[in-house]
Amino acid sequence: MDDLSTVTAADVSAASECFFSQRANIVAKNAVTAKGVRAVARVPEAAALNTTTFDIEVKQGARTDQKRSGRCWMFASLNTMRMRVIDAYKLKDFELSQAYPLFWDKLEKSNFFFENIIDTADQPLDGRLVSFLLTDPVSDGGQWDMFKALVKKYGVVPKEAMPESASSSNTRDLDGYLTRYLRSSARKLRSAFEAGASADELRAQKKQMMANVYALLVTCLGEPPASFSVRLRDKDDKMALSGTFTPHEFYERAVGLNLDDYVSLISAPTVDKPFGCTYTVSRLGNVVEAGGVRYLNLEPAELKRAAIRQLEDGLPVWFGCDVDQSFIQEEGIMDLDALAIDDLFGFSVVGDFDKAARLDYGESLMTHAMVLEGVNLDGKGRPTLWKVENSWGKDHAKDGFDTLTDAWFDEYVYQVVVDKKYLTDQQREAFETMEPIELAPWDPMGALA
């Protein structure tokens, strides 16, 4: 009897004969090897349906650019805030510093990491939890609740007060050397614990380690300003705001957003996450004293309803998604029908997974945060197409913005952040009063955008 566990020469020969017996396979091979999968699978009729005009639209400033960094969640968060400054002072354009929260996030994540290492010092190094903690301790990514914690503790500053640097524009070396230092320090903390050190003694060691983290960050990013001068001129070149501010003072004066009014809604249809319940993720966060994250899980239609209401009030919406799925990046099109992948290969490659299965089997999770700034509605008021502010610069796609279809929203949008006033009374009560179910640190809803 043949050994069915191996790939035999006969198997390869049969597969080759089957492939080359089909004219479509030969055409596909020639095209894909020359142009790539997505270029060949692109469906022009679907791409042509993506418009550049919208029924409801929030006018933002010039497109921002996160460059070679994973700060999309910061850019998206700051982009939802900057329009308040633009509107309040009638400015032509304005940007808040993205390097400023990057500095504090790296510092706070380092402390958060050390606290987790101390808390798990009695657990095996090769166990799943400690291995997970060591994997990527200071990722560029984050969640809305983590950004909220940073702003509450450190405020915000205009971009001129802490501009971009080589290390904020390309975080590879900063992340690499900081991660190496954190892992080395984690080894010292665990060794000290094994030698009998108490938690207080470990935290005393951590203080010096954190001083070194601060030094590394200042070397790479510069020191964040404790205060700064501001001179903002409006569209008519008249002085609209001037003075010296601390980061907290500037936030209160220029932005004035009540961060506690904004809540995270997720849509995860897996069996372990019933809709209508609240969730948190174990050991996910940055600012220790702020606590972790909190979500309310709802059907996609409820995320859309709240987002549309906020857009109707002239306010953009932070959202998180799996951006690379069914995505034509050059044109900024996220559309389930834009790429005919299964037709190209001749069998089901993308069509056999539903949203729940993609989450359960590691095929999808939140990878990118952006801003919803517009939507088109059909005759019954239902959304058909969404306008998206990205943070990949003005030369990306359609002058820096993308579109996503409503069907794509259903499948690949995992989170929106809205003012809680747009929730129903029942949803608001659930978010505020329900004890959150704690998810494992590696749950897909713990993914960082």
Coil, strand or helix at 364: coil
Q: Which of 50, 79, 376, 390 is catalytic?
A: 390
Rounded Cα distance, 199 and 22, in Å = 68
What H or E segment, with its residue span, contains residue 85?
helix 72-89
> Is 390 one of the annotated active-site residues of the chain?
yes
Q: Which of 72, 286, 297, 396 is catalytic?
A: 72
Amino acid at residue number 350? V
Q: Are strands 317-321 and 413-419 parallel, antiparallel or unpaired?
A: antiparallel
Phi, psi dihedral angles at 320 (to 5 degrees): -120, 140
| DSSP string computed for 65-80 | B--BS--HHHHHHHHH
Q: How far is CA 237 from the centre of its chain?
A: 36
| DSSP string computed for 11-69 | HHHHHHHHHHT-HHHHHHHHHHHHH-HHHHHB-HHHHTT--S--SEE----SPPB--BS
What H or E segment, with its residue span, contains residue 103?
helix 99-119
> Is 396 one of the annotated active-site residues of the chain?
no
Coil, strand or helix at 285: coil
> Is 277 one of the annotated active-site residues of the chain?
no
Phi, psi dihedral angles at 288 (to 5 degrees): -55, -45
| Residues in CB range of 154: below 8 A, 6 or more apart | 100, 101, 104, 224, 247, 248
Rounded Cα distance, 248 and 198, in Å = 36
Q: How far is CA 427 from the centre of its chain?
A: 24
Q: Are strands 333-334 and 401-405 parallel, antiparallel or unpaired?
A: parallel
Catalytic residues: 72, 368, 390
